[in-house]
Amino acid sequence: MFRYFEDLVDPYTDYPPTDRPPTRLLPFLTDYARPFRRVFIWAALLSVAVASVEIGLIWAMGWVVDILAGDPSQVWEEHGTALILLGLFILLLRPLLQALDVLVLNNAITPNFGTLIRWRAHAQVLRQSIGWFENDFAGRIANRIMQTPPAAGEAVFQVFDAITFALAYVVGAAVLLADADPRLLLPLLLWFGAYALLMRWTIRRVGHASKAASDARSFVNGRVVDAYTNIHSVKMFAQDAQELDYAKEAIERSRVTLQREMRLYTIMDVALVVLNGLLIVGVVGWGLLLWMQGGASVGVVAAATALTLRLNAMTGWIMWALTTFFRQLGVVAEGMETIAQPITLTDAPGAAPLVLDRGEITLENVSHHYGRGQGGLDRISLTIEPGEKIGLVGRSGAGKSTLVKLLLRFYDAEGGRILIDGQDVTKVQQDSLRRTIGMVQQDSALLHRSVRENLLYGRPGASEEQIVAAAKQAQAHEFILTLQDPQGRSGYDAHVGERGVKLSGGQRQRIALARVILKDAPILLLDEATSALDSEVEAAIQDTLYGMMEGKTVIAIAHRLSTIAQMDRILVLDGGRIVEQGSHDVLLHQAGLYASFWARQSGGFLDPDMQGDKASE
C-alpha cells in the first residue's frame, strides 16, 4: 500500500532543462510542480472531504443531543438504524478517508516533491559556469540547494493539510450555523473578518522577515564552510579567533533577523487569543440567548458550542500553518536567488559534438580581461600544430591560465575566437570539447570518494586492469596499496578525504596524473603538473610525462623551466601578449625575457621577484 502511493510520482522523471528558469515565485513553483498536478487535485479533494466529514460529525452530535431530549424508550426504536450507520461511518469510512488523505500527503507528495526540487535544482546549478561558482560561496550555494526543497515541500503540505482543510471547514461551519439559525452566522462572519485582517497583517510581514532570516542563515553557512574548507590556512596562521569573530558577525545578523521574525509570531498569538475569545462568547452566547427565547434547541447550542471550540483550537494551527506557508515561501524565494539564475555559458543552438581528427588549435585575435579591461589575454593569435608540444612561461598574471580556461571554455573570450580542427569552441557541445582534453592542474583536488572512483573520473567504465596500469604509469600504485581510511577501507577502495586532504600533495598529484593517463585524451594540458612532486619522484615520472605526450597536442605551463625545455616550442607571455616564441636554445640565444628567467632561476623555478598580479591570471 505504501509503495503504491510512494510511486505515484517519479521525482527523477525526464524534463526539458531551461537556461532561463522562472524568476517569480509562483511560476517557479508551478514549473517544478507540473508532475504533481493530478496528485495535487486529489489532495485538495480529499482535504475538503475530510473537513466536510468533521463538520458533519459536529452536526451529527447536535442531532444526537436533540434525540436524547425525547422519550428514552423510543430513541432506539425510532433512530437505531441511523445510530448504527453513524457508528459504522465513524469506525470504517471516516478512517478510510483520513488514511487516503494522509497517504497522499505523507507518502505521495512530501518525500517526492522535495526530492524532485533538490534533484532539478542541483542539476541546474551544475550547469553553471566556473566563473559563476567563483563569484559565490560554495557553502551558501549548497545551503540554498539543501534548504529550498524542504521549504517548498512544507509549503505544499500546508496548502493541503491546513489551508484547503481550513477553508472547507469555515465554509462548512457557516452553512451549519446558518441552517440552525441564520443569526448565529453573524458573530462567525465578524470574527472571520477580523481573523482575515490579522492574517493579512501577519502574512505581509512574515514573508519578508523569513526571507531575511533565511538569507542570514545562508550567509552564516557560507562563512562557516569557508573556514572549514580552508582549515589548513586557519591553523597554519593561528587564526581561530579571527574566524570566530568573522563567523560571529554573520551569526549575530542571523539572530537579529530571527528576533524580528519571532516578534511577528508573538503579536499574532496574542491577537489570536483575543479574537478566539470574542468568537466563543459571540456564537455560544448568542446560541444560549436563542435557546432561552425558545429559538434554538439544545442540540443547536451543543453543535454551535462544539463548533466554536473546535474553531478555537484550529485557529492557532491555521494561523501557524499560514505563517509557516509564507515563511517557507520566503525560504524558497531566497533559494531562487541561486537556483533561478540564468545559465549564461550555454551550448549554441544546434551545437554538434566536437569532431577531433588532428588536434590543431588556433587562436584568432583572442582577448579576455574578465570584464576588467586589463589582465588576462590581449589580442593573441596563435596556431598549435597537431601533435605539437608547447610550453607556456611568464610572470604570474601574464595570461597563461586564462588561455587554458578559454580553451576549455570555462569562459567565453571577450574578443576573437578559438578553433580546434577548424571548429569554433563556442559552437560545439561543451561536454564533447572537454572530453577531448586531459588536464593536470597545480592544485589537483580530489573528490571525497575512493581512489578508484577518482581514477574512473578519467574514464568511466575502465577495467580494473586499466586502472592499475594507469596508476603504475604515474608511480602511484605502490602507495595506493598502503592506504587505509578510518572506516577500514584500504587500497583502491580507501577514501581520500575532502579535496584529497588525507593524501600528501605529491600523492594527490600522482593520482591526478593517473586519472589523465586513464582518460587518454588527444589534447593534453599540464598546469604545473609536477610542482607538488619531490625531485626524486619527478625524475621517476618524467618518462611517464613524455610518454603521455606522445601523439598528443600538448600545452604545458611551468615555472620550473627545466620541465618544458624539451618542448617543440616555448611561448613567453607578458602583459597578455606573446612577446617571444621558439625552442629553448633559440630563446636563450635571443637573450630576451626567457633568457632572463632562465638566468634568474633558483633550483629550476622562476624568481618570485619576477611575479606580478596573480589574481589577473
Q: Measuring CA to CA, which residue among 537, 487, 489, 481 is closest to residue 509?
A: 537
Position 508 scores a pLDDT of 84
Position 436 scores a pLDDT of 92
CATH no. for 348-436+558-617? 3.40.50.300
CB neighbour list of residue 568: distance below 8 Å, 6 or more residues apart: 388, 389, 390, 583
For residue 428, count other CB atoms closer than 10 A to its CB.
Answer: 21
- Extract the C-alpha cell encoding 232: 589548513
Position 492 scores a pLDDT of 94
Is 318 in contact with 202 (CB distance < 8 Å)?
Answer: no
| Residue pLDDT, tens place only, 419-449 | 999 999 999 999 999 999 998 887 777 888 8
Query: Please, is 119 exposed, middle or buried when counting C-beta atoms within 10 Å of its C-beta (0-12, 13-18, 19+)?
Result: middle
Alpha carbon distances (Å) from 282 to 181, 287, 293, 491: 14, 8, 16, 77
Instruction: Between 97 and 611, name the one with better pLDDT.
Output: 97
What number is the average pLDDT over the span 36-42? 92
Scored b (16 or more CB within 10 A) or e, 194-205 reads ebeebbeebbeb
* Helix residue ranges per DSSP H, 474-550: 477-481, 505-519, 535-549
Position 614 scores a pLDDT of 36
Lowest mean pLDDT segment, chosen from 16-25, 103-112, 351-360, 438-447: 438-447
Position 613 scores a pLDDT of 39
Q: DSSP secondary structure string, 87-133?
A: HHIIIIIHHHHHHHHHIIIIIIIHHHHHHHHHHHHHHHHHTS-HHHH
Percent of the chain exceeding pLDDT 70 equals: 92
Average pLDDT, the chain: 83
What number is the average pLDDT over the span 298-302? 73
CATH architecture of 8-339: Up-down Bundle (1.20)
Lowest mean pLDDT segment, chosen from 45-49, 388-392, 403-407: 45-49
Lowest mean pLDDT segment, chosen from 198-207, 362-371, 478-487: 198-207
Is 561 in contact with 597 (CB distance < 8 Å)?
Answer: yes
User: Which residue bears the cell 623555478?
Assistant: 605
Rounded Cα distance between 333 and 327, Å, is 10
CB neighbour list of residue 159: distance below 8 Å, 6 or more residues apart: 325
What number is the average pLDDT over the span 93-121? 90
What number is the average pLDDT over the span 344-363? 91
Q: Is the predicted pLDDT of residue 305 greater than 60, yes or no?
A: yes
70 confidence band (pLDDT: 50, 70, 90)? low
408 confidence band (pLDDT: 50, 70, 90)? very high
Q: Is the predicted pLDDT of residue 339 greater than 50, yes or no?
A: yes
For residue 515, count other CB atoms closer than 10 A to its CB.
Answer: 26
Q: Measuring CA to CA, which residue among 395, 345, 341, 397 is closest to residue 372?
A: 397
**Which residues partner with 572 through β-bridges?**
393, 580
Q: Measuring CA to CA, which residue among 91, 203, 573, 110 is closest to residue 379?
A: 573
| Residue pLDDT, tens place only, 564-576 | 888 899 999 998 9
Rounded Cα distance between 356 and 552, Å, is 12
Rounded Cα distance between 213 and 405, Å, is 37
Lowest mean pLDDT segment, chosen from 257-261, 275-279, 425-429, 483-487: 275-279
Whether 8-339 shares its CATH topology with 348-436+558-617 is answered: no
pTM of the model: 0.75
- Extract the C-alpha cell encoding 443: 592544485
Rounded Cα distance between 371 and 83, Å, is 80
Q: Is the predicted pLDDT of residue 411 greater than 70, yes or no?
A: yes
Position 380 scores a pLDDT of 92
Position 540 scores a pLDDT of 64
Position 219 scores a pLDDT of 83
Lowest mean pLDDT segment, chosen from 104-113, 181-190, 425-434: 181-190
Is 116 in contact with 108 (CB distance < 8 Å)?
Answer: no
Element (DSSP H or E) covering residue 249:
helix 240-292
Question: To 10 degrees, the CA torsion angle through 232, 237, 240, 245?
Answer: -120
Extents of the domains making up the chain: 8-339, 348-436+558-617
